[in-house]
Amino acid sequence: MTNLYRKQIKAVIFDLDGVIVSTDNLHYKGWKKLAEEEQIYFDEIINNRLRGVSRMESLEILLENSKKEYSTEEKAALAERKNSYYVELLASLTPDNILPGVNEVLKELKCKDIQVAIGSSSKNTANILKKIALFEAFDAIADGNDIKHSKPNPEVFLVASKKLGIPPEYCVVVEDAVAGIQAAINADMTSVAVGDAKGYELADYSIDSINQLLDIVI
């Protein structure tokens, strides 16, 4: 892999869910429980569309299959209910849920003086990072509580870059969601696609495993 960005990269901004930690199945279980209670059809294919999407936008996708119309207040209560199920499930999260290679990559980036941040749509970011014992591992955290517009809007990554004090052109974003890659592009950052987003043609790089990130930035 060519290393065009060698001198320019000063920070890596990681998405959280699906890049640092495996929470997909917990989100799925939370939405599935809500969908069953409301008698709305929901499956893993629909769940894939929720990747990188905010809680309220996820609910709107789920409600595409609902026969019932919900008021704004009812929708807020549904989202809150799903979150309570999800938070219950997060209680079981441990450092074992950190995705393969992540700890090694974080360590290596630190050694090379490359700053690391989180850029996540999740409002549960701090809770999740504490559960997996990585809360102290990042130089900055930008999450769903910091933003008004979710991915593909670049806001969360621009907040992370501002918190780090490193301009976008020096930042790399690692994402598993197409909406997240688009957000990185909209932020004028270098984008690296992993997992579900791998192979997305607009990403600057696609990698099979997070360890390959080191070939790009170091």
Residues within the interface to Mg ion (CB under 5 A): 15, 17-18, 52, 176-177
Q: Which is nearer to ligand BG6, 9 or 118 (CB)?
A: 118
Instruction: Compute the distance between CA of residue 66 and CA of residue 43 in angstroms, rounded to an integer.
Output: 13
List the one residue from 115, 121, 153, 190 that touches ligand BG6 (CB under 6 A): 121
Instruction: Compute the distance between CA of residue 128 and CA of residue 135 in angstroms, rounded to an integer.
Output: 8
Determine, following the binding rule CB under 6 A, whether residue 191 of this chain makes contact with ligand BG6. Answer: no
Here's the x/- map for ligand BG6, 13-52, by CB under 6 A: it reads as: ---xx---------x----------------------xxx
Our answer to whether residue 204 is catalytic in this structure is no
CA 200, 203, 204, 209 dihedral sign is negative
Please, which residues have CB within 8 angstroms of residue 30's CB and are 6 or more apart in sequence?
82, 83, 85, 86, 89
Token readout for 108 is 């290596």
Q: In whole angstroms, how close is the CB of 18 to Mg ion at the nearest point?
A: 4
Residue with tokens 């700053």: 115
Q: Which is nearer to ligand BG6, 110 or 130 (CB)?
A: 130
Our answer to whether residue 17 is catalytic in this structure is yes
Q: In whole angstroms, how close is the CB of 125 to ligand BG6 at the nearest point?
A: 7
CB neighbourhood size of 218 (10 A): 13
Q: Which of ligand BG6, Mg ion, none does residue 152 bind (CB under 5 to 8 Å by kind)?
A: none
Strand ranges (E), 112-168: 115-119, 140-142
Total of chain residues touching ligand BG6, rule CB under 6 A: 17
Q: Which of Mg ion, ligand BG6, none does residue 151 bind (CB under 5 to 8 Å by kind)?
A: none
Q: In whole angstroms, how close is the CB of 179 to ligand BG6 at the nearest point?
A: 9
Q: In whole angstroms, how close is the CB of 16 to ligand BG6 at the nearest point?
A: 6
List the one residue from 55, 118, 155, 195 that touches ligand BG6 (CB under 6 A): 55
Q: Exposed, middle or buried by CB within 10 Å (0-12, 13-18, 19+), for 201?
A: exposed
CB 158 within 8 A of CB 168: yes
By 3-state DSSP, what share of the chain in percent is helix, strand and coil, each rounded to 5? 45, 10, 40
Catalytic residues: 15, 17
User: Interface with ligand BG6 by CB under 6 A: which residues?
Assistant: 16-17, 27, 50-55, 58, 83, 120-124, 144
